[in-house]
Amino acid sequence: MTTTHDTFPLRFELTPSEAVRAESEREAILADPGFGRFFTDHMVSIEWTTEEGWHDAAVVPYGPITLDPAASVLHYAQEIFEGLKAYRHEDGSVWTFRPDANGRRLQRSARRLALPELAVDDFVESLKQLVRADVDWVPSADEQSLYIRPFMIATESFLGVRAAHKVGFYVIASPAGAYFSGGVAPVSIWLSTNYSRAGKGGTGAAKTGGNYASSLLPQEEAYQHGCAQVLFLDSVEATYIEELGGMNVVLVYKDGTLVTPESDSILEGITRDSLLQLAEDRGHRVERRRVTIDEWREGVESGDIVEVFACGTAAVVTPIAELKGEGFSVGSPDAQPGPLTMSLREELTDIQYGRRPDVHGWLTRLDA
Ligand code: PLP
Ligand code: COI
């Protein structure tokens, strides 16, 4: 059976899966989803060519993508992605958070990676189409959500190094619990001094797979030192903090000021932007500026910095208890989560789960 949903400008054709998981199997997965291990029954696929632009929008059964071995993404990593979540509210409705911001960021990433831009309305519609097909996969347990992963790849079979003339955009979804296995427990962070995440004029501000590939080795180093994430410095002076492998960083001063790094080589996090807005709404001062690693170390040691947290869609808000690097550590792995960290986390998740008014108009309904 094939039905179509009328949408403008892209029309999505739905091919329902014939292998939809039984309710009992789905419920068993939703009981303990972890992060990124299980996927729903459908996915979105949209094609792009230089001649036709975006076309053939479809919701199809979840499954392998067939690529020619010469597909340029496999050789030159012309790829971008996004990450956002669908939240089930008390009344059963399903919502997502600031999807237009993710859509605009995908466009910025596309420009940097010489990929075609998808209209923000089409991006948001693709999320709605997938969630409507797989709405039973949106968990209702506390702190759980459906993590949505849109991505775009160069599918043209061509080994010359230039922007591909054929591209695919896909959306998959994965039920999610806590990103870190310890839940909201504070984590230790490893300062990488051997590796950079992004160079000047590079792709640091784009959400592209290569940034994550280059973070894997330093991330291994972090694990070896008992740390959950790696912190990168700027690549020019190795002085200014940038971000973690998959999260932004915010420092909280004892006078209530929140400070976060500004740089053109970090990912502009939507979670960070939202938390800083909530803090400003409460009257906190917010500074987006360059921050040296010494400011962090000395601030924690002197007591001027009273809380540090990491934030991102997958990890939400995670307190940072300890910063370690070659020959030093500040903070303590046993430190308790800071009160501002936890209250901002609660306010943000309350908005996302519909437990508090959405005064900024950040929520978009996905299931209707
Ligand atoms: N920085 C990096 C490198 C990330 O991968 C992410 C996660 O998406 C973030 C920051 C936080 O971004 P957001 O809050 O939009 O998820
Ligand atoms: C996210 O928070 O959405 C991320 O992309 C982080 C990580 C899973 C890559």
Indicate whether 6 pLDDT > 60: no
214: left (phi over 0), alpha (psi -120 to 50) or beta: alpha
pLDDT at 7: 45
Q: CA-CA distance, 35 to 53, in Å (whole number)?
A: 34
Around ligand 1, the residues with Cβ closer than 6 Å are 83, 243, 246-248, 267, 269-272, 312-313
Dihedral Cα 125, 209, 153, 41, nearest 10 deg: -50
pLDDT at 1: 38
- Residue 93 has φ and ψ, to the nearest 5°, of -70, 160
Amino acid occupying residue 84: L
The mean pLDDT of 215-237, rounded to a whole number, is 96
Q: How many C-beta atoms surround the C-beta of residue 302 within 10 A? A: 9
Q: How far is the CA of 230 from the centre of ligand 2 (A)?
A: 14
pLDDT at 178: 73
Atom 5 in ligand 1: residue holding the nearest Cα: 246
C-beta separation of 321 from 331 below 8 A: yes
Atom 3 in ligand 2: residue holding the nearest Cα: 83
Give percent of the chain with pLDDT exceeding 70.
97
Q: Which of 104, 151, 271 to mutate to test the pocket of ligand 1 (most atoms within 8 A of CB)?
A: 271
C-beta separation of 118 from 106 below 8 A: yes
Amino acid occupying residue 59: V
In tens, the pLDDT along 309-349 reads 999 999 899 999 999 999 999 999 888 999 999 999 999 99
In tens, the pLDDT along 139-187 reads 999 899 999 999 999 999 999 999 999 999 999 999 998 777 666 789 9
Atom 9 in ligand 2: residue holding the nearest Cα: 246
Q: How far is the CA of 147 from the centre of ligand 1 (A)?
A: 13
Give percent of the chain with pLDDT exceeding 90.
93
Amino acid occupying residue 78: Q
pLDDT at 9: 81
Q: Give one DSSP letter per residue of 300-312, joined into a string.
A: HHHTSEEEEEEEE
pTM for this prediction: 0.95
Domains belonging to the chain, first-starting first, are 3-176 (3.30.470.10), 187-352 (3.20.10.10)
Q: Give one DSSP letter per residue of 224-285, joined into a string.
A: HTT-SEEEEE-TTTS-BEEEESS-EEEEEETTS-EEEE--TTS---HHHHHHHHHHHHTT--
Per-residue pLDDT band at 236 (split at 50, 70, 90): very high
Residue from 100, 108, 110, 1 nearest 54 by CA: 110
Say yes or no: CB of residue 312 within 6 Å of ligand 2: yes
Q: CA-CA distance, 314 to 102, in Å (whole number)?
A: 14
In SS3 terms, 312-326 reads as: ECCCEEEEEEEEEEC
Q: How far is the CA of 302 from the centre of ligand 2 (A)?
A: 32
Q: Which of 6-10, 14-18, 191-195, 363-367 has the lowest mean pLDDT?
A: 6-10
Atom 4 in ligand 1: residue holding the nearest Cα: 246
Q: How far is the CA of 7 from the centre of ligand 1 (A)?
A: 30
Q: CA-CA distance, 366 to 368, in Å (whole number)?
A: 6
In tens, the pLDDT along 290-305 reads 999 999 999 999 999 9
Beta strand 258-261 pairing with 94-97: unpaired
pLDDT at 184: 79
In tens, the pLDDT along 111-144 reads 999 999 999 999 999 999 999 999 999 999 989 9
pLDDT at 182: 66
